[in-house]
Amino acid sequence: MKRTTITLPEPLAQAVEREARRRRVSVSAIAREALAGHLGLDPDSPRELPFVALGRSGQSNIAHDFEEILAAEWDRDLDSDR
């Protein structure tokens, strides 16, 4: 794990400390959880991509299969760059 120092406004720092005391965990645990949630990095949830489902392709499987479709497209792009 990497150690990082952040500067928080006093009201936010107090709220984080209060929540850590309430839950009986460290301030670091609260910060890690909040950052992971904000960035969509929860390992128990599927990854969300903000641009998925923005357009209409006429194909019904795109939203369901976007991970596989993106992986195939990215592999194809990597192959063409070589």
Per-residue pLDDT tens digits for 33-70:
999 888 878 767 666 666 666 666 677 777 678 788 88
pLDDT at site 29: 95
Residue in this structure with the two tokens 């500067």, named with its chain if needed: 7
Per-residue pLDDT tens digits for 12-32:
999 999 999 999 999 999 999
Amino acid in position 49:
L
The reported pTM is 0.53
Distances (CA, A) of 78 to 26, 74, 82: 43, 6, 7
The answer to whether the Cα torsion of 30, 36, 39, 40 is positive or negative is: negative
- Mean pLDDT over 72-79 rounds to 74
Domains and CATH numbers, the chain: 1-45 (1.10.1220), 49-82 (no CATH)
Distances (CA, A) of 52 to 1, 9, 64, 76: 31, 35, 10, 19
